[in-house]
Amino acid sequence: MNRMQFAIAGIVALGAAAITPGSAGAQAAVIASPFHAGQWGIEAYAAGQAGGLIRFFTPRTALAFTLSGNHINTAADGSGPGSGSSKGTQLDATLGLRRHSMLAPRVAAIVGAGLVGGNVQQKQVYSGIPGASTYHSSYLGAYAEAGGQYMIADHFAVGVAYRLTGRHVKNTTNQKGSEFGAAVLPIRATLYF
């Protein structure tokens, strides 16, 4: 197990302990939450074109919406049959609930679940070959995540989470299928106001 996997496993274990009744995490539940109903937050992910909004309904439960997008436009130099240009757009969105359990005055375990959806479109044009190649794929599914965050300041936190995803995918060639995956999300920074 490498260091990153070990750290993520520790965060997930702390999150599980925080929501298990009768555990040491249940004792930590008496720590006052720094959040309040009606509070908003803005998130940004370290990996670039992803961000989102959260809104608390209770001091521990929030609705989270994230959106990520990517646009690629490349043109290859040369005139051989393998050279050409490529354009592509990817858009992903999630909507779900998060539960924040305070483990210490500035440390929160977070678990969440919700819906995930996305769309990918690509077009490639090759030199010396008539026509273009296009591809379109869309998906809809669900996710569950567990992680934690550290409050660096009263209204600013950084955190990480581990996400499990299941989704149904359909693409241009009418191929359909299910995909399942697990990933460590990029570090996210959240500003609360």
- Confidence at residue 190, expressed as pLDDT on a 0 to 100 scale: 96
- Confidence at residue 118, expressed as pLDDT on a 0 to 100 scale: 95
- 18-51, pLDDT tens digit by residue? 444 444 444 444 788 899 999 999 999 988 788 9
- Confidence at residue 151, expressed as pLDDT on a 0 to 100 scale: 95
Determine contact, residues 97/62, Cβ cutoff 8 Å.
Answer: yes
3 state DSSP class of 84: strand
**Which residues of the chain register pLDDT less than 50?**
1, 4, 7, 16, 18-29
- Confidence at residue 81, expressed as pLDDT on a 0 to 100 scale: 58
Residues in Cβ contact with 76 at an 8 Å cutoff, skipping those fewer than 6 apart: 82, 83, 84, 85
The domains of the chain, with CATH numbers, are 3-192 (2.40.160.20)
What pTM did the predictor assign?
0.74
- Confidence at residue 131, expressed as pLDDT on a 0 to 100 scale: 67
* Long-range contacts (CB closer than 8 Å, 24 or more residues apart) made by 34-41: 34/102, 34/151, 34/154, 34/192, 35/59, 35/60, 35/62, 35/100, 35/192, 39/192, 39/193, 40/192, 40/193, 41/190, 41/191, 41/192, 41/193
For residue 177, the tally of other CB atoms under 10 A from its CB is 10
3 state DSSP class of 132: coil
Kindly list the distances between the CA atom of residue 37 and the CA atoms of 22, 56, 62, 96, 192, in Å, as whole numbers in the listed order.
Answer: 26, 5, 9, 17, 12
Measured distance CA(53)–CA(9) in Å, rounded? 26
- Confidence at residue 134, expressed as pLDDT on a 0 to 100 scale: 82
